[in-house]
């Protein structure tokens, strides 16, 4: 089925460890986004990309890096995980910035940093 796929779905990290979250979409969308969702805070934008080879910072980018080497993939990296990065991470994609056709979200990655 067409959509946005996130891997892994769950992960437990120790403080200081690194990891990469993968987001893949098969809808030929130009725009891709990484959000985090925390209780009482709602969803907040971490980084986004407006096309292959481009990335930009969102509202809460500190401690994260991203790459978009291929149009269909958007990677979110944590170089040195901290307990404050315990969250649920959602990837999303859209056809254009004006989102004429709306957003498509992945099912999320639940990350715990101990």
Partner 1 sequence: KQEVTQIPAALSVPEGENLVLNCSFTDSAIYNLQWFRQDPGKGLTSLLLIQSSQREQTSGRLNASLDKSSGRSTLYIAASQPGDSATYLCAVSGGSQGNLIFGKGTKLSVKP
Task: Enumerate residues 6+ apart whose C-beta is below 8 A from 54.
Answer: 68
Contacts with partner 1, 23-42, as mask; x by CB under 8 A: --------x-x------xxx
- Asked if residue 74 binds partner 1 (CB under 8 A), the reply is no
Report yes or no: 88 and 57 within 8 Å, Cβ to Cβ: no
CA distance 76 to 100: 26
**Which of these ranges, 14-22, 63-71, 75-83, 92-100, lies near partner 1 under the rule CB under 8 A?**
92-100
CA distance 86 to 111: 5
- Asked if residue 99 binds partner 1 (CB under 8 A), the reply is yes
Which chain residues interact with partner 1 by CB under 8 A?
A: 31, 33, 40-45, 48, 50, 56, 58, 90, 92, 94, 96-108
């Amino acid at each position: 089925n067409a959509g946005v796929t996130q891997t892994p779905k769950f992960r437990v990290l120790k403080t200081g460890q690194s990891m990469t979250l993968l987001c893949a979409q098969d809808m030929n969308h130009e725009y891709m986004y990484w959000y985090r969702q925390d209780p009482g805070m709602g969803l907040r934008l971490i980084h986004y990309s407006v096309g292959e080879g481009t990335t930009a910072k969102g509202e809460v980018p500190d401690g994260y890096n991203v790459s978009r080497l291929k149009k269909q993939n958007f990677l979110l990296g944590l170089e040195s995980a901290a307990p404050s990065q315990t969250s649920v991470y959602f990837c999303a994609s859209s056809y254009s910035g004006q989102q004429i056709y709306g957003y498509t979200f992945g099912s999320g990655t639940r990350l715990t940093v101990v």
